[in-house]
Structures are given as structure tokens and as C-alpha cells.
Structure 1
């Protein structure tokens, strides 16, 4: 049994490291000691239906930011799907993810949201009773009336909380007279590393900055309206203590009011790439809760 446990642990760690390597992420050696517990990986039987893991990326990112976790979860026998997050507006984004979950999954589902993806899963989860758990990775878990922008600025420490947005954002206008809510925003290339990915290698940071998906200012500024899913669905929170986009103190407050299970990691806003094994373990903990 010990040999089997060690084999499973090494398998998950190796796959996560291999995928991270393809993305030019250097996973520290000490992460190996925190590899996924084999009981979390193997504790299923032929009579148990494993939940589908649906990953929802945030603003200025895409599904590739979850690549290490995707590979590790697949190695553990889970079906993993990356939901499209259009980043056009909170209501339309929430509907897109809700429709995806309802039509692409059967049986129990764990929704995982990074950053602005947390805003989306907080509403989308209530559209399908099969959603059994929520995982927020450096994510927004809003209450009624709260927007991503308001939560970003609620506590000191965010590098996005600036007097002049042009010092942080580049914008693309869909038309010369488009309202600001419809402007596409990008994190400036020279700010991306400090805001998003401080501890990650610059080679990776530059690739991510070049390929970021824009989000409209309206999506960030629109308040969540309704009853948040975390009031009725169990939640888990991964909090990057070096996050310079969404201050850790604000993340802790959101996790506390949700009565969520908290894991803190020494990571910037992209905890999925900086600490993939720890993030994978939290997702597995959430998945096992419904076995």
C-alpha cells in the first residue's frame, strides 16, 4: 500500500511538473513534499461517481492558466472541462458558464473559478443543482451588490487601485464613441509581471502578457445581483499571500463570511501556476467531499 501511495503521488507530481515545464514554470523542489495525498487521488470505487471538474478562468487569462491542474486531475481519474468565459459582462458571462455546465456535464460538478471567474461561478452554480462545491483560486466571492472592482478596492494593496487607469491598463475601443463600460481592457505589458505574476519566471510572464484575454470595464464594474451560491454550496478558497491584484486581506474576509475552507499559499495572483500541486490538492479535497 505504501508503494502504491508513493507511486500515485509521484505520478501526479510528475505530470503537474511536466505541464508546468512546458509553460516554463519552475516548480520548487520543496513542493514535492506537499504532493497530493494518494487517498485524495485514489479514494473512489467503480460504484462511486466522481464529480466533473469545471474550470473557469478569470480576466486577462485563459484556460491554459489551469494546465498543470488539468493534467494532474486527469491523471487522478477526473473529467475536467474548461468553461468558456467570454469576459464581456457579468450577466452574459454567468449565463455562458451556466449553460455550459447544464449542457456539457452530467452528475455532480465542482466549479473552480480564478479571479473574476469567482464572480461568474458565484451566480452560475445556482443554475444547476448538480453543482456540489465551489473552489475560489485568488477569486472573488461577491455578495449581493458587490462588483469585482469594488472588492478590489475595498482593502489596500491592489496595484489596480490607481488614480489614473492608463498607468495600468491598455484599452481597445469597439468604436470611437463606445461607452467606457464596453472598452476592452488589458494589463499593460510592463505591469503584468508585478500585478499578476511576480514570482513567476519572466519568460513565462512575457508569454502570458502577450496572450491575455481582454475584459470589458463593464464586466469588472457590474455588481453581482442575487443570492450568492456560497451561501448554500460548500466552498474552498486558495489565497495567494503575495497577491498584488486582489489583496489577501479581502480574500480572507470573503472566505470567512462564506464559511469556506481556506488554504494559503506563498504565491502571486496566478497561484495555479506558482503552486499547482497545492491548488490541485484543494480541488481534490472539494471533489472528494461529494464522493
Structure 2
């Protein structure tokens, strides 16, 4: 059975996978959920350092890996999986899917920031943008775990695009208020296949069992 490696998005920590991982374990999958260095209490790391963390984690896993990135996590996943011989599929869950030389700024059509230091603000209403289909109590719990995120992580451009060589699946979150579904569809056109789920930006919290079943189906050899 494959190991499913789960890569969190911006402002999050690996604890965000706490509902999804048991569902994947019940379906027979091992999981890994590394912590990206660009997110934390006083982070300074950029995307390349995040990709290095993922590459090191991948090198420690024996057997095939399905590598899933959520939101920002899709960017370091894209770089880290390039040249990793054990990654059999990439899954982009409401995730950025850059080509070589692109960053999050690039994908939004924005100019590079003049100053790559400092932190990127979370936004005024994470309750709506990130957790629109959670109960108030669950959304409050999720928001209590949010941390800071560096500008560098959004501005650094990937050196390689692993999806050009590794089969990929893009999961579009159709009710997303954070990463617009229209932009998701645009990026998803690059993927080997497209799946969709009727959810907000964080189905690993709102629909963990349904998402686990979707990942399980994607992960199994045809």
C-alpha cells in the first residue's frame, strides 16, 4: 500500500490533518504529514526551504508515495517531487500548481514583491474563506491553530515542475472562497486528471471520510 504524504497550506500546521489521517489509516494507507518551515510563530523560511524539507521526508520513505499538497502546499510539492523516484502520483487539493519559474504571485498575475522579508497577512475573514462549510465550533477550533506565514514562501519561484513527469490529479473544491474555482480549473487543466468535491477550501476538516475515499480511489493502481 502507498504512503500518502500530506502537505499543509499556508498559515497551517500538520495538525490540520488530524481528521483525515485516521480515515486514510482505516483504508490501509500509511501517512506522513511534515511541517513546512515557512509557517510558524516566527517563520523566516521560503518555498525552497519547504521543498527541501519535503525532499528529505520523501527520501526517508520506503515504497511508493502519493504526495498531496493543499493550497500553498502544492508549490513546494511541485519542486520537491522532481527527481524523487518513489512518488507515483501527485494530488493537488485546491492547490497551486506552478510551472517552472512560477510562484504564487505569478499564478495570481501579481508583480514580485519589492521586499521578500516579513510576513504575509492572513486576511480579514478566515472563517469564510478557509472554513465556510464547518460548524462555528469547528471553525473556531481550526482558526485557533493558525500561525504566521512568510512572504518569501509566496514569492520564490519553483526550479522544477514535477507534474510534467509524474501523473497528477487535481481536486477542485467547488465552493471555495479562498482559491477561486475558476483559477483552480485553469491550473487543473495541466493535470493528468481532474476530480471535484462539493466543499469549501478545507474538505479534510469538513468531509474527511469522503475526501479519504477520494484519495484512496486515486491512489490505487488502475
Normalization by structure 2: what TM-score?
0.88
Q: Deviations over 1:96-153 (max 9, x none)?
A: 11111102x10111101111111111111124201101111111111122211332x3
User: Are 1:249 and 2:182 an aligned pair?
Assistant: yes
CA offset at residue 289 of structure 1?
2.0
What is the Cα deviation at residue 73 of structure 1? 1.1
How many angstroms apart in 1 are the aligned matches of 2:177 and 2:115?
24
| 2:131 matched residue in structure 1 | 197
**Unpaired segments ≥5 residues, structure 2:** 39-44
Q: Choose from 48, 60, 63 the match for 2:11.
A: 60
State the Cα deviation string for residues 240-262 of structure 1 (Å, max 9, x = none). 11212211111111111223x22
What residue number does 1:122 align with?
78
- CA gap of 1:265–1:59, structure 2 versus 1, over 3 A, is same
Tell me how large the CA RMSD over aligned residues is: 1.9
The equivalences for 1:89-238 within 5 A come to: 89-103=46-60, 105-151=61-107, 153-154=108-109, 180-188=115-123, 190-226=124-160, 228-238=161-171
Structure-2 separation of matches of 1:134 and 1:146: 18
Q: Which residue of 2 aligns with 1:287?
A: 219
Which whole-Å deviations, capped at 9, do the CAs of 1:153-198 have from their partners, x for residues lacking one?
A: 34xxxxxx9xxxxxxxxxxxxxxxxx8422133425x511122111
How many residue pairs match? The answer is 213
- For residues 258-277 of structure 1, the aligned pairs below 5 Å read 258-259=191-192, 261-277=193-209
2:74–2:95 CA contact under 8 A, matched in 1? yes
User: What is aligned with 1:39?
Assistant: none
Give the TM-score, by structure 1 length.
Answer: 0.68
